[in-house]
Amino acid sequence: MKRVLLIYTGGTIGMMQEAESGTLSPVDFAELGQYIPELNQIEAEIDTVAFEKPLDSSNMDLSHWQNLAAIIEQNYHQYDGFVVLHGSDTMAFTAAALSFMLNGLSKAVVITGSQLPIGRVRTDGKENVITAIEIAAAYRGERAMVPEVCIYFEYQLYRGNRTFKYNAEQFQAFRSPNYPVLAEAGVHIKYNENAIRQIRSESFFVDDRMDNRIAVLTLFPGISRHIVEAALSVKDNKLVIVRTFGSGNAMSHSWFLDALQQAHDNGLILINLSQCRAGAVQQGRYATSRGLDKAGLISAGDMVLEAAIAKSMHLLGVGHSGENFKKLFQANLRGEITEWRQ
């Protein structure tokens, strides 16, 4: 029997409604486990470990990602796969961060949660947890079926660093617009083997260094010069992700391009990432993006914002800068970017 470690961090899946206020807040795992008696019937040996204080995922920060990576590292050789129970709000950020922290992964790390608490009759949590465990325990011979950090939600398995939460209402809460699903659960779990990353012959290790000296600047028509200049001149900040329009376009006003150029010359790393959730940045395709190219912006290609944030923190944390940072940011490190689409 395969061994799976279930790591409970919090999220709606483990929340209960407070009687007086009706507010949802997380409960501990012992209470949560009672609602999934089916765990005893799964053909896998399951152990659980829980965060000391379960979290609404809006409160996740770098220290929690590092804690998760440490739990996986400490238990890596004792288990065949890992399932992380996590709030859906920032699940895609955690998935992306873990994908960069875990090097040489040859086992599945499946992150899941739910839109309705596990104690509710119509909960989506049970199916999500049960199937996530099955996927984490799925092997063909010696090889894990999905040796990746992934998100399982509502019958779909996604590559973690390709997803974002797009729906706060429907059970199907995630999307991966630029990369196919890794598996679909129906009567059987159908694995999309061509899309799943191959195990490389590297050995597993964790590098959890992350630098959060980054900012995100979302452009909009009419944005003031004051806001742009302020965002580009934050003391000690190292990198700004500029969320541009369409295929990576922005205003051609000289004050705007000059501000970018100046920031670039002062050593700030600038990333061009589109506000469109599908497709890719193609810097230089339109005249309105050629200026960005000249000002030294680095194209984020078809990465999602969540992955671009985690990758920026990771590369800065490891100490990359200049041309080296640019080369690695545009390279496909964990399946997060399609290199030919840049």
Q: Catalytic positions, please?
A: 12
| 234: its two tokens | 């934050």
Q: In angstroms, rounded to a whole number, what is the distance separating the alpha carbons of residues 52 and 119?
A: 21
Out of 4, 46, 64, 88, name the contact with ligand ASP by CB under 6 A.
88
Three-state DSSP class for residue 112: strand
Give which of 57, 146, 120 is closest to 335, Cα–Cα.
Answer: 146
Contact 101/208 with Cβ under 8 angstroms? Answer: yes
Out of 32, 84, 85, 89, name the contact with ligand ASP by CB under 6 A.
89
Residue 94 as a binder of ligand ASP (CB under 6 A): the answer is no
Out of 12, 131, 283, 289, name the contact with ligand ASP by CB under 6 A.
12
Give the residue with the Cβ less far from ligand ASP, 90 or 178.
90
CB of 155 to ligand ASP, least distance (A): 17
Residue with nearest beta carbon to ligand ASP: 87
Out of 5, 6, 11, 69, name the contact with ligand ASP by CB under 6 A.
11
Q: Name the phi and psi angles at 209, rounded to 5.
A: -70, 130
Give the residue with the Cβ less far from ligand ASP, 11 or 33.
11
Give which of 75, 90, 132 is closest to 108, Cα–Cα.
Answer: 132
CB of 52 to ligand ASP, least distance (A): 16
Q: Name the phi and psi angles at 73, rounded to 5.
A: -60, -45
Residue 112 as a binder of ligand ASP (CB under 6 A): the answer is no
Contact 258/225 with Cβ under 8 angstroms? Answer: no
Residue 208 as a binder of ligand ASP (CB under 6 A): the answer is no
CB of 132 to ligand ASP, least distance (A): 14
Q: In angstroms, rounded to a whole number, what is the distance separating the alpha carbons of residues 186 and 168?
A: 23
Residue 87 as a binder of ligand ASP (CB under 6 A): the answer is yes
CB of 127 to ligand ASP, least distance (A): 15
| 128: its two tokens | 């999500």
Footprint (CB under 6 A) of ligand ASP, residues 31-60: 56-58
CB of 304 to ligand ASP, least distance (A): 17
Residue 115 as a binder of ligand ASP (CB under 6 A): the answer is yes
Give the residue with the Cβ less far from ligand ASP, 162 or 165.
165
| 167: its two tokens | 């729906």
Say if strands 189-191 and 183-185 run parallel, antiparallel, or are unpaired. Answer: antiparallel
Give the residue with the Cβ less far from ligand ASP, 149 or 298.
149
CB of 252 to ligand ASP, least distance (A): 39
Residue 160 as a binder of ligand ASP (CB under 6 A): the answer is no
Radius of gyration of the chain from Cα atoms? 21
Q: In angstroms, rounded to a whole number, what is the distance separating the alpha carbons of residues 206 and 82?
A: 15
Q: What is the Cα 11 distance to its own chain's centre?
A: 16
Q: Determine how many CB atoms are found less than 10 A away from the CB of residue 52.
A: 6
Q: For residue 34, what are the contacts with CB-CB under 8 A and spacing of at least 6? A: none
- Interacting span for ligand ASP (CB under 6 A) from 9-17, 245-253, 268-276, 286-294: 9-17
Number of chain positions touching ligand ASP (CB under 6 A): 11
Binding site for ligand ASP (CB under 6 A): 10-12, 56-58, 87-89, 113, 115
